[in-house]
Amino acid sequence: MASSDKQKETVVLAYSGGLDTSCILVWLKEQGYDVVAFLANVGQECDFDEVEKKAYALGARKIHICDCREEFVSDYIWPWVQSNAKYENRYMLGTSLARPCIAKNMVAVAKQENASFISHGATGKGNDQIRFELACYALLPGVKILAPWRLPEFYNRFKGRPDLVKYADEKNISLGVAKTKLWSIDDNLMHNSYEGGMLENPSTEPEAVMWQRTTDPTKASDTPDLIAVTFDGGVPVKVVNTTEKVKITGALDIFLYLNQLGGKHGIGRVDIVESRFIGMKSRGCYETPGGSILFAAHEDIETFTMDKELIKIKQCLSVQFANQVYYGMWFSPECEFTRFCINKSQENVIGTVNLKLFKGNVYVTGRESPISLYNEELVSLDVQGDYEPMDAGGFIKINALRLQEHSRVKRMKM
């Protein structure tokens, strides 16, 4: 039970209005805390008015709903586009990128409310507890974290979803479809992610109704969309749909539009098993339509405009960036340094990539740049250009020296 000194303590709760955080809000009130709910709009499907009403009905003293969409795209998704980063070469980091954005704005509310505690509904087995808390500790040193799913008095009482549903019924907490949902969903501008429930069996194919953001590629439009994505400094600045004669500018509008197009054509679905930071494997399904389009476009224009040795260094940085973001280290000195270096590498990544979107695929059909490193005369098979073919012989012999020495040593061992 709550002690008298806790009754005046304020806790800012990362609140979504779903089963876990709704039950946690009521449970925190039972423990004697003064609860301020916080909800970041990072592009998730949500009736924000209803969530606000529900928070007050459940006993929150106040709720802050922050529109973070522009910030999310410009300050978090665009650096990811520049990075070409995929965690374990497959996961496009949609949830991982949203967490520092959410945490930064939640910390601002905690300061405003003079709160002693920050709380969340992340489980004790997952990555999100790490991402939220590392960001909060970095931005608000001395803050205390209340993580109910790590407290014995909470997890011994609530063994899992059925116990939460029973508690919600007892406390008249409205759940809607949450009672019957067969998997956990996290969505934001970047992606939809699905885990838990039937997906915990890695051999089980997801039900078709699970996918919410993308059309089944086999049932997608029979007419492709032809688009052109323009980059400046590795950042998307314009999208032109030559099929529909549409031009889009502005960070948020570009990403929303590419999400729409990607979803229409069934682009961006993956079903993977990944390595959580905390040390276990997990199975997740993801839909990243707009991100998948931009990944393909940026990768192409970067190769077109960037020196090959710089590309090698950048690829190493991309792996580091993927790990740093996935592990919740966005506000670490190493991640700040990595982002700085990646951004520096993008100075000449300028130009336009032409793409065809069709039945789950992104096809690159051409590219152009005012400062490309592609020299048509130099590379042409029909024109000699500023190149002396005889020089290639010496080049080959020099590179063959170490191969010859390697073979010599191998023969000595025989």
Give me the torsion for CA of 331, 279, 321, 201, rounded to 10°. -120
Rounded to an integer, what distance in angstroms lies between the CA atom of residue 414 and that of residue 412? 6
Distance, CA of 351 to CA of 368 (rounded, Å):
6
Q: Which one of 16, 20, 193, 369 is the catalytic residue?
A: 20
Which one is catalytic: 22, 69, 116, 128?
128
Of 102, 98, 93, give the one whose Cα is nearest residue 326.
93
Plot region of 142 (φ>0 → left; ψ -120 to 50 → alpha; else → beta):
left
Burial class of residue 385, CB neighbours in 10 A (0-12, 13-18, 19+): exposed
Residue 328 in contact with residue 135, Cβ under 8 Å?
yes
DSSP β-bridge partners for residue 145: 118
Exactly one of 83, 96, 184, 193 is catalytic; name it: 184
- 158 φ, ψ to 5°? -115, 95
Structural element, H or E, at residue 408: helix 391-413
The reply to whether 96 belongs to the active site is: no
121 burial type by CB count under 10 A (0-12 exposed, 13-18 middle, 19+ buried): buried
Q: In the sheet where 10-14 sits, what is the strand order?
A: 62-67, 34-41, 10-14, 117-119, 144-146
Taking a C-beta distance cutoff of 8 angstroms, is the pair 214, 262 a contact? yes
Q: Check 69, 99, 339, 367 and give the catalytic one.
A: 99
| Catalytic residue flag (residue 163) | no
**191 Cβ partners below 8 Å, 6+ apart?**
92, 94, 95, 213, 268, 286, 287, 288, 291
SS3 99: helix
99 is catalytic: yes
List all residues 6 or more positions away from 290 whose beta carbon is below 8 Å from its beta carbon: 189, 190, 255, 256, 257, 258, 259, 261, 262, 268
Residue 82, Cα to own-chain centre: how many angstroms? Answer: 13
Catalytic site positions: 20, 99, 128, 184
